[in-house]
Amino acid sequence: MKRKINTIIANLLFFSCFAQTDRKIFVADSLTRESIEYACIVFNDTAGGTYSNEHGYCYIPQNIEQIELSSIGYYSKTTELKQDIDTIFLSPKIYEISEAKVLPNREKRKPVELGYAKEKAMYGMGFPSGGEIAVYIHSINKENAYRLIKQIILQLKTNTPKGIRKLVNMELTDYISVLKINFYRITENNEIGELINTENIVFTSEVLKSKTKLDVSKYNIYMPENGIFVAVEWVGRIDTATGEIIKKTENILPLILVSRKIDNSISFAKRKFKRELNNKWEKSVIDTVFYKEFNNGYTPLISVVLE
């Protein structure tokens, strides 16, 4: 009994010490003073980073002296973490809304699905917090241009068998994870261009299934004439007790299912918290002896539905 009590005390001391190593920072709008949820925080002193939670709070190790914060709808900011700092304000961007292009439509058009969600899945692709994967979806013809993107369809792997989870030391308990959906323009060089959405499009794993249709119609994203990149960004796991973003190094479920590279498809991946990659998009190739068939690239199984 005495040994068990000592073990409990030791565990409490360990977690108490661990908690003291993290600084609690509040991220807020400089004008409204309201919290900014899921802002991305990159550690400039070392590899790594985190996100603010849904209430605007993030937890940063004490040894980090400088961070860079960014969030959709705000200007990025680099800040020195002085001892008296507990709140960081981001300045909102003012977007110039271009004139909407309205095409004549005498008949109600049927919804159109474009993309790769109907293709056969070969592999599950996932990233740790800060990872992002994107695939280009062509508008096919001029009739699809400037139509509202009503839904995003994802083929997902939402769980991992217990045997594999034990093998890679993953937690056996269920948890909530957070994903963002981002839309980007395509450049003349067929690379990822500027971000289109002006606010966070966030979904949690509670609403995700093996094949999920996500309603994005309220964000008023219209299919450009030359197509669009659709991206999934892994924010992280959520501690259901504290609401804190749990910092983990392994892949975060759900995984995006992918196929071997489909002809003429274009896909990219990015890791925000890997300093050596400089937060740059890279061609999506799995360079591993276990999946040689993907060395020429892969295609994420993502589609859009146009209204």
For the chain, the C-alpha Rg in angstroms (whole number) is 21
pLDDT 10s digits, 217-237: 999 999 999 999 999 999 988
Reading phi first (left if > 0) and then psi (alpha if -120 to 50, else beta), residue 19 is in alpha
pLDDT 10s digits, 49-69: 999 999 999 999 988 999 999
> Which tokens belong to 17?
């010490």
Q: What is the pLDDT of residue 231?
A: 96
Work out the average pLDDT over 162-166. Answer: 49
Neighbours of 210 (CB within 10 A): 13
Residue 85 contacts residue 25 (beta carbons within 8 Å): yes
Q: What is the pLDDT of residue 6?
A: 45
What is residue 93's DSSP assignment?
Answer: P
What is residue 97's DSSP assignment?
Answer: P
Least confident of 83-92, 94-103, 144-153, 180-189: 94-103
Say how far apart CA 186 and CA 303 lie, in whole Å: 16
Instruction: Write down the CATH superfamily of domain 2-90.
Output: Carboxypeptidase-like, regulatory domain (2.60.40.1120)
Least confident of 190-199, 203-212, 241-250: 241-250
- For the four alpha carbons of 74, 304, 236 and 206, in that order, the dihedral sign comes to positive
Residue 95 has pLDDT above 90, yes or no: no
**Which of 31, 56, 44, 48 has its CA nearest to residue 200?**
56
**Which of 133, 185, 177, 140 has its CA nearest to residue 159?**
177
pLDDT 10s digits, 133-156: 999 999 989 899 999 999 999 998
pTM for the whole thing?
0.83
Work out the average pLDDT over 209-218. Answer: 88
Position 120 confidence tier, pLDDT thresholds 50, 70, 90: very high
Work out the average pLDDT over 123-129. Answer: 83
**Which of 118, 89, 39 has its CA nearest to residue 305?**
118
Residue 98 has pLDDT above 90, yes or no: no
Q: What is the pLDDT of residue 57?
A: 94
Work out the average pLDDT over 98-123. Answer: 76
Residue 158 contacts residue 251 (beta carbons within 8 Å): no
Pseudo-torsion of CA 30, 33, 35, 40, nearest 10°? 10
Q: What is the pLDDT of residue 97?
A: 57
Q: CATH says 112-306 is which class? A: mainly beta
- For the four alpha carbons of 15, 16, 18 and 24, in that order, the dihedral sign comes to positive
Task: Please indicate whether residue 241 or residue 26 has the higher confidence score (pLDDT).
Answer: 26
Q: What is the pLDDT of residue 302?
A: 96
Residue 74 contacts residue 38 (beta carbons within 8 Å): no
Mean pLDDT of the chain: 82
Position 8 confidence tier, pLDDT thresholds 50, 70, 90: very low
Work out the average pLDDT over 205-210. Answer: 77
Distance of CA 277 to the CA centre of its chain: 17
Q: Domain limits of the chain?
A: 2-90, 112-306
Say how far apart CA 302 and CA 134 lie, in whole Å: 9
